Structure 1
Amino acid sequence: MAVNFKIYQSNRKGNTNGKFYARAAHRETINTKDLAEVMQNNSTVKRSDIVAVLTELSEVLRQELQRSNKVHIDGIGTFKVGIRSKGAKTAKEFNATDNIVGSHILFMPETTIDANGNRVKALLAGLKVKEAASYESLKSKEPETQNPGV
């Protein structure tokens, strides 16, 4: 198995403009029931039990994050809440209602140390990549001629 990628040309201003880069290409989204089916095939636990556990996990994860706790799941990583805020001139002028403008979830994947002393994200250990076959590769296109008059 390998992670698919597509090649794209950068149009950002600066020294990356016109250069070609790889971007991960995703085939589909796997949902809880799909995961449960695979997990059932890999274990002695029934799919319905796995769905129940995963559903409860999502509820407890939400509760713990809203209690301002970090949640670490062995082999996966740590989840925590991050917030965005506008600045205030003084601490006394800071008001959560006016200055906090958003929240988001931060995920820090679990890392291990390999034999060479390098950090490796546990979920990406042994990752291989290959170019996706389901799109027209930019490598096969002729370079466009630039028209200075346009």
Structure 2
Amino acid sequence: MALNFKIYKSNANNGTKDKFYARASHKDTVSIKQLAAVMQNNCTVKHSDIVAVLSELSEVMKQELQRGNRVRIDGLGTFKVNIRSKGAKTAKEFTVSENILGTRINFHPETNVTPDGSHIVNMLSGIRVKEDDTYESPRGKDENTENV
């Protein structure tokens, strides 16, 4: 199995213009119910129990993130909320309505440190990439699968 990618030409008006880059090509989205079906086959827990636990996990994560806590799931990574804001000239001029633009969730995957000091994302260890064969490649057709 390999992660598919497509090659695209950048149209950005900066140093990347007219250069070619890879973009991951995703075919499907897997739901909690689909994950539960696979998990049920891998262990002794019933499908309905897995769905219940995963559904409750999302509710509890939402509560903890809204309380300002980080949520770490061992083997997966850590979730936290970040705030997008614009600057004010002085602290007194800073207001929520004018300067807070919104929030977003940041995810930091769990990593291991190798002997040479580099960090390897556990879930991507050993991943292979392959050019998607469902589009017309600007390079033409050839087999290009490699470990990253």
Q: TM-score, normalised by structure 2?
A: 0.89
1:130 corresponding residue in structure 2: 130
Task: Say if 2:95 is the partner of 1:99.
Answer: no
Q: Which amino acid aligns with 1:112?
A: N
Query: Which whole-Å CA distance do the structure 2 matches of 1:7 and 1:89 have between them?
Result: 43
Aligned residue runs from structure 1 range 49-128, under 5 A: 49-128=49-128
| Distance apart, 1:78 and its partner CA | 0.6
Q: Which amino acid aligns with 2:20?
A: F
Post-superposition CA distance 1:5-37 (Å, at most 9, x none): 111111222332222111110010001101101
Post-superposition CA distance 1:66-106 (Å, at most 9, x none): 00001111111110001112222221222223321211101
Partner of 1:106, secondary structure, is strand
| Distance apart, 1:115 and its partner CA | 4.4
Structure number with larger C-alpha Rg = 1
1:20 corresponding residue in structure 2: 20
The aligned length equals: 141
1:9 corresponding residue in structure 2: 9
1:148 corresponding residue in structure 2: none
Task: Say if 2:41 is the partner of 1:41.
Answer: yes
Q: Over aligned residues, Cα RMSD in angstroms?
A: 1.5
